Amino acid sequence: MGSGFDYGNKLISVEQALSKIKSDDCIVCALGAAEPNGLLDQLHTIAPRVTNVAVSTCLPMRPFKWFMDPAMRGHIEHHAWFYSAGIRKAAAEARTSFYVPNHLHSAAMDRVLFRKPTVFIGTCTPPDRFGYVSLAFSVVYERELMDAADIVILEINEQVPYVWGDTVIHIDQVDYLVEHSSAPFELPAPETEERDRKIGSFIAEHIEDGSTMQLGIGGIPNAVAGELLHKKDLAIHTEMLTDGMVDLFEAGVIARAPRSLDKGIMRGKMVAAFALGTKKLYDFLEHNPGLALMRGSWVNNPYVIARNHKQVSINTTLEVDLTGQVCSESIGHRQYSGTGGQSDTAIGAQMSEGGKSFIALYSTAEVKQPDGTRKTASKIAPMLASGAAVTLHRANVDFVVTEYGAVRLRGAPVNERARRLISIAHPDFRAGLQEEAEKLGYI
């Protein structure tokens, strides 16, 4: 692997790297596409010789054996900031994975308070001639937890992009390096449905030229990005950088020389905490001076977000009750995904001058019944399901959007909130919701 800087004194094998891990260690792994595949593919092999090892991740891209195999219990315990399908299965069946409640901007600090990390593992580019590497895809929590860890191990992968921002470190900050070449994991954008496009158009109607955008993940945010192609002078300050934002940049929607745009902070830069998407996005990241990945503790700090001009936050949810409580992470008591930065960005946007926050959801979903059959249920409900986590407090909810329209709850009393939410529920459920609202004394 070519490099202008000699790092041979730090270079070890995967096996040697794993030998550094001992019982009672607390390992933190880089997020998403920044995860070190060589180390994670073999991490389960340490189980016979260790006990009580904790591994913290966010968005692991594959169902690795060290958290999917029930035999790991007592040896390796997985602490997840966000659940995927594989982790949901591991939590329910293998009992090896457990959710860590968090707000993204404070995830790193909270982890240190709970249990000091002893080992950090991640990915980086080959060093340049001065010895600097880029952490490539994420600095959501990585920099703080690298600083807190006793040992830092990075995989050098020449297939990951060199990305500017808080990603750039010197290899003097790294204890050990492992060479492992692999194509970074790609997350294709999901296909948008007709109801995605309807929701996207309702949201886009409220977005003004010159706004600063944050978009979440999924079909609805992708549809919103498609609806923004006719806007002008938009800026990006977002938790996650996606393929849709590349499309906006290439279409000239993102202001590249913002003379008239008061973004507020880092004018002329697309700002994010991590990037996840396809090769199109990863090629866009490579040595791009027009973007910067910055620490999540800064990007997602509501007070930082509030300094932007017309900050817009767009996130999705699973369920909303008639008073405006939002559950975006669980189905009843069962953890489904995670809080992520939803509260961070929703609150920060509303603190921004001219800012707006949108919570989007489909009006209905198919729900599995105890007898195995499925029935259609309204996702605007009189009350949240028993045990549901409140991801966004009702006092922090601004717009709620379904395929039947967009309503603003901010500042509205409960009776008006209920009326407005019923108006965007599926027509088949509106009468029932009206009746329940009257029984509960909301109307």
Active site residues: 239
Judge residue 65's burial from the number of C-beta atoms within 10 Å of its C-beta, 0-12 exposed, 13-18 middle, 19 or more buried: middle
H helix or E strand, kind and range, residue 146: helix 142-148
List Cα–Cα distances, 218 to 139, 186, 347, 361, 365, in angstroms.
Answer: 21, 14, 21, 11, 16
Catalogue the E-assigned strands of 304-347. 311-316, 319-321, 326-327, 330-331, 334-335
> Which residues, 6+ apart, have CB-to-CB distance to 108 below 8 Å?
140, 141, 144, 145, 148, 296, 297
- One-letter amino acid at 55 equals V
Terminal-to-terminal C-alpha distance of the chain: 68
What gap in Å lies between CA 311 and CA 313, rounded to an integer?
7
Q: Chain centroid to CA 196: how far?
A: 20
Q: Are 410 and 206 in contact (CB under 8 A)?
A: no
Alpha helix ranges (H) inside 317-388: 342-351
One DSSP character per residue, 215-251 reads: E-SSHHHHHHHHHTTT--SBEEEEEEE-HHHHHHHHT
What gap in Å lies between CA 282 and CA 158, rounded to an integer?
13
Count the alpha carbons within 13 Å of 32 in the hemisphere toward its beta carbon: 21
Alpha-carbon dihedral 357, 380, 414, 399, rounded to 10 degrees? 10
Q: Are 305 and 349 in contact (CB under 8 A)?
A: yes
What gap in Å lies between CA 232 and CA 211, rounded to an integer?
9
H helix or E strand, kind and range, residue 367: strand 364-368
DSSP 392: B
What gap in Å lies between CA 89 and CA 414, rounded to an integer?
38
